[in-house]
């Protein structure tokens, strides 16, 4: 099971603090040992200097005087070794051995080992006759001090670990709160709500998550609104031919239409059925384009010859609508890598859209141009064109249909979306913009190809 963010942050803080405690403990133990030795040695040296300043050769020779001094330092666990002028050293046996190892002939400081035990020793010479004394401190007293210091440091480090755990838990809760809000908002979006928004606050990364979630909610709302508009436009396009087919079929079935009327009714049914078939086919093509199994027969294609063939067909249709078709195509072959059938489908779709809105007497243009790098094919018309803000969204499904169906003849709302998808899958681009003829221009651009490739 996955742990919570607060738990993980707490564990991370504990781990970091634990590593810091271990490192600090290792370093501190070494420093404590060295520092404690130095501090106690310095303290012992200071006491030896004080004792030496209070004694002279007479004092060293006076048991009472030495005894008073010894009582003072012995209370601190320090042994006193005394050597009178010309005599032997007196004191505890171990202390005498430790002092003897260091030597009572000069002022000295050091650590010596006697019978496996270590001692800190300070020796001082008093007077000019060779009298001397030594202060001897067992190292176990130093170790006891060190252990006390280590215990205090470990206590402080333990408190630090506890503080780290509390800080990690609190930080995790604070960081997790906006993320939990984001998760709840995502659940609401999954349930169908689109008015959910998350406050953009907290650390930058958390704020970015909230902002991205809000942007996703906005995008979903816009996308679903467009889908509704698209469904409405498709429903509108389906309703008209279905009404005609249903009405004329009922007339034939009831015997109302007979003779020539029945023939006209049959022709109408056939025409509207073909219109329904084209609409369904466009929907299926658009759905297949979004699937990975959609196949294209890509091959080198002379697009100049293809445009001329298209123009022969559209010359007749334009003539029936009293629209003049102009064709500007290079005389030499122009090759691109494309699917011939799909590119013809794209040109026919753009030409049909252009002819639908081009009034009688206005021009329609097929224009092909080529350079070393790209080949551009434009289908332009002299119709009413589009508003400037409509060109960027011209290839989105149903957008133009929803905006213009009450003002001019429109198609199914998916023709331009299908054009964009087909051209993109063939490696080209398609753009929309105003045409010099006064209407709209749709321009296909493909990388230039060579014959045989």
Q: Are 366 and 340 in contact (CB under 8 A)?
A: no
Q: Which pLDDT value is given to residue 145?
A: 64
Residue 422 lies in a domain: yes
How far is the C-alpha of 267 from the C-alpha of 351, rounded, in Å?
25
Domain boundary (290, 311, 332) is at: 290
The pLDDT-based confidence of 304 (bands split at 50, 70, 90) is very high
Q: Which pLDDT value is given to residue 432?
A: 93
Query: 125-139, 217-231, 319-333: which range is least confident on average?
Result: 217-231
Q: Which pLDDT value is given to residue 417?
A: 84
Q: Is the pLDDT of residue 439 over 50?
A: yes
Range of the domain at 96: 5-146
Q: Is the pLDDT of residue 64 over 50?
A: no
Q: Give the tokens for residue 452.
A: 């045989």
Residue 425 lies in a domain: yes
Q: Which of 44-53, 130-139, 310-319 has the highest mean pLDDT?
A: 310-319
- Pick the residue with more confidence: 439 or 397? 439
Mean pLDDT of 222-246: 68
Mean pLDDT of 241-263: 75
Residue 397 lies in a domain: yes
Domain boundary (267, 290, 313) is at: 290
- pLDDT tens-place string over residues 374-423: 999 999 999 898 889 989 988 887 778 777 777 777 766 677 888 898 89
What letters, b where the CB count within 10 A reaches 16 and e where it falls short, cover 412-439?
A: bbbbbbbbbbbbeebebebbbbebebeb
Q: What percent of the chain has pLDDT over 90?
A: 16
Backbone angles phi, psi at 433, to 5 degrees: -170, 175
Total domains in the fold of the chain: 3
Residue 404: strand, helix, or coil: helix
- pLDDT tens-place string over residues 440-451: 999 999 998 755
231 and 267 assigned to the same domain: yes
Residue 440: strand, helix, or coil: strand
The pLDDT-based confidence of 452 (bands split at 50, 70, 90) is very low
Query: 12-26, 227-241, 303-317: which range is least confident on average?
Result: 227-241
Domain at 389, CATH number: 3.30.565.10
How far is the C-alpha of 87 from the C-alpha of 337, rounded, in Å?
117
Q: Which pLDDT value is given to residue 301?
A: 92
15 and 133 assigned to the same domain: yes
Q: Is the pLDDT of residue 366 over 90?
A: yes
258 and 308 assigned to the same domain: no
Q: What pTM does this model have?
A: 0.47
Q: Which pLDDT value is given to residue 280?
A: 74
Residue 163 lies in a domain: no
Residue with tokens 């400081």: 109
Q: Which pLDDT value is given to residue 375?
A: 94
256 and 123 assigned to the same domain: no
**Cβ-based neighbours of 116, under 8 Å, separated by 6 or more:** none
316 and 279 assigned to the same domain: no
Residue 164 lies in a domain: no
Alpha-helical runs (H) found in 79-203? 93-102, 139-190
388 and 412 assigned to the same domain: yes
Q: What is the mean pLDDT of the chain?
A: 78
406 and 282 assigned to the same domain: no
Q: Which pLDDT value is given to residue 59?
A: 53
Q: Which pLDDT value is given to residue 63?
A: 46
Q: Which of 376, 388, 419, 416 is nearest to 400 (CA)?
A: 416
The pLDDT-based confidence of 343 (bands split at 50, 70, 90) is very high
**Cβ-based neighbours of 442, under 8 Å, separated by 6 or more:** 350, 353, 354, 378, 379, 380, 394, 416, 419, 430, 431, 432
Domain at 212, CATH number: 1.10.287.130
**CA triplet 441, 228, 354: central angle to 5 degrees?**
20
The pLDDT-based confidence of 431 (bands split at 50, 70, 90) is very high
Residue with tokens 């012992």: 44
Residue 186 lies in a domain: no
Domain boundary (146, 169, 188) is at: 146
Mean pLDDT of 222-226: 73
388 and 432 assigned to the same domain: yes
272 and 344 assigned to the same domain: no
Q: Is the pLDDT of residue 328 over 60?
A: yes
């Amino acid at each position: 099971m996955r742990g919570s963010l607060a738990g993980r942050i707490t564990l991370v803080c504990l781990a970091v603090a634990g590593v810091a405690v271990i490192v600090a403990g290792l370093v501190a133990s070494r420093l404590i040992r060295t520092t404690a030795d130095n501090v106690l040695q310095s303290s012992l040296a200071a006491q030896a200097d004080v004792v030496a300043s209070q004694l002279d050769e007479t004092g060293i020779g006076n048991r009472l005087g030495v005894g008073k001094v010894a009582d003072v330092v012995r209370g601190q666990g320090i042994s006193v070794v005394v050597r009178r002028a010309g005599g032997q050293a007196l004191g505890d046996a171990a202390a005498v051995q430790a002092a003897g190892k260091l030597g009572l002939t000069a002022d000295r400081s050091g650590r010596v080992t006697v019978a496996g035990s270590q001692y800190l020793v300070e020796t001082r010479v008093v007077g000019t006759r060779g009298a001397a004394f030594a202060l001897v401190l067992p190292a176990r007293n130093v170790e006891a001090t060190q252990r006390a210091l280590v215990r205090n440091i470990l206590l402080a480090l333990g408190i630090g670990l506890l503080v780290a755990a509390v800080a990690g838990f609190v930080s995790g809760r604070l960081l997790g709160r906006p993320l939990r809000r984001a998760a709840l908002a995502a659940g609401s979006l999954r349930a169908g709500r689109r008015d959910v928004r998350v406050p953009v606050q907290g650390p930058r990364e958390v704020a970015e998550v909230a902002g991205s979630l809000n942007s996703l909610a906005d995008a979903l709302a816009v996308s679903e609104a467009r889908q509704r508009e698209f469904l409405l436009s498709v429903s509108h396009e389906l309703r008209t031919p279905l009404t005609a087919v249903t009405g004329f079929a009922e007339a034939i079935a009831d015997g109302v239409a007979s003779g020539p009327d029945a023939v006209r009714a049959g022709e109408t049914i056939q025409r509207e059925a073909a219109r329904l078939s084209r609409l369904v086919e466009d929907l299926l093509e658009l759905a297949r384009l979004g699937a990975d199994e959609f196949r294209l027969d890509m091959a080198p294609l002379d697009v100049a010859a293809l445009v001329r063939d298209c123009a022969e067909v559209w010359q007749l249709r334009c003539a029936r609508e009293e629209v003049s078709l102009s064709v500007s195509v290079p005389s030499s072959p122009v090759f691109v890598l494309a699917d011939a059938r799909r590119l013809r489908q794209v040109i026919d779709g753009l030409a049909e859209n252009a002819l639908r809105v081009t009034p009688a007497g206005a021009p329609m243009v097929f224009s092909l141009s080529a350079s070393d790098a790209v080949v551009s094919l434009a289908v332009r018309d002299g119709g009413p064109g589009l508003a400037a803000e409509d060109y960027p969204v011209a290839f989105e499904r149903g957008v133009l249909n929803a905006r213009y169906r009450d003002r001019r003849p429109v198609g199914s709302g998916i023709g331009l979306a299908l054009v964009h998808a087909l051209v993109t899958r063939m490696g080209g681009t398609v753009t929309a913009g105003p045409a010099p003829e006064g209407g709209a221009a749709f321009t296909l651009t493909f990388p230039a190809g060579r014959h045989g490739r």
